[in-house]
Amino acid sequence: MSKACCLCALLCSLSLAACAPFSDRVVLLPGPDGRTGAVLVSADGEQKVLSEPYADVQVADGKVVLLKTSPGMVRDDYGALLAMQPARPRLFVVHFDAGTSVLTPASRTLLASMRAELATLPAGEAVVIGHTDRVGALEANDRLSLQRATLVRDMLLSAGIAPEAIAVVGRGERAPVVMTADEVAEARNRRVEIKLR
């Protein structure tokens, strides 16, 4: 028996669950902002909650065991998998001069850079998302937000982005950046986001 085998046998005797061949495994990872969500795993009538980063649930022989792994072990086991993950969506915001459909100078500069940014993404998509403030009815704001997004879509088309790479969304007054009461005019909420993914 080689040294490695002895070591494995020793480790297995110390921690049976970790070495037993699992049928299923779930590993919880921290997000890029360091925050970790949670996953509820149900198997064989048992439930385990993963809520700590690197929590590791393994199912073997009808047992569901909660373990803990590490960044290094995740790299060893799943590094190649994680390297194939698509790019995380990135969000850019453009603003208009008050009461006009003219972009602010900063937003014009940003818009001009979108084509080059998009070209760095494989099968890149630009999702143009319009928003309003809370003045007016919900349905009217849905239409208005879509109009704003369409305006920016046309600018992206003029900047040379292919039409099939652009989608338009109107979120209306549902996602303000500044919380206000209904019917309050708020310039910061009247905006268009460009999501690249």
Partner 1 sequence: MPAIARLACVLLVSAALLLSASSVEAAADTAPAGKVKRSEGSVTVDHAGQTQPLSVGSPLFVGDRIRTGSDGSVGVTLSDDTLLTAGPNSTLLINEFQFNTTTEEGSLLATLVKGTLSVVTGLIAKQAPENVRFKTPNVVLGVRGTEFIVETRGEGQ
> How long, in residues, is the chain?
197
Q: How many residues bind partner 1 (CB under 8 A)?
A: 47
Options 19, 26, 135, 159; binder of partner 1; rule CB under 8 A: 26
Q: Residue 138 to residues 104, 152, 171, 176, 182: CA-CA distances in angstroms?
A: 26, 21, 10, 13, 10
117 contributes a contact to partner 1 by CB under 8 A: no
Look at residues 56, 57, 32 and name the one whose alpha carbon lies nearest to residue 47.
Answer: 57
Q: Is 18 in the site for partner 1 (CB under 8 A)?
A: no
Shortest CB 78 distance to partner 1, Å: 5
Stretch of 7-15, 79-87, 102-110, 183-191 lying at the interface with partner 1 (CB under 8 A): 79-87
The answer to whether residue 63 forms part of the interface with partner 1 (CB under 8 A) is no
What is the DSSP annotation of 140-175? HHHHHHHHHHHHHHHHHHHTT--GGGEEEEE-TTSS
Q: Select the span of 4-12, 15-23, 97-105, 106-114 touching partner 1 (CB under 8 A).
A: 15-23
Does position 20 interact with partner 1 (CB under 8 A)? The reply is no
31 touching partner 1, by CB under 8 A: yes
Residues 84-103 within binding reach of partner 1 (CB under 8 A) = 84-89
With contact defined as beta carbons under 8 Å apart, do 128 and 192 qualify?
yes
- CA dihedral for 97, 100, 105, 108, sign (positive or negative): positive
By beta-carbon proximity to partner 1, the closer residue of 104 and 169 is 169
- Closer Cβ to partner 1, 115 or 195, answer by number: 195
Q: How far is CA 173 from CA 4, 121, 151, 184, in A?
A: 62, 30, 18, 11
* Alpha-carbon gap, residue 174 to 143, rounded angstroms: 13
Q: Which residues bind partner 1 (CB under 8 A)?
A: 21-31, 36-44, 50, 59, 74, 78, 80-82, 84-89, 121-123, 125, 127, 142, 167, 169-172, 174, 195, 197
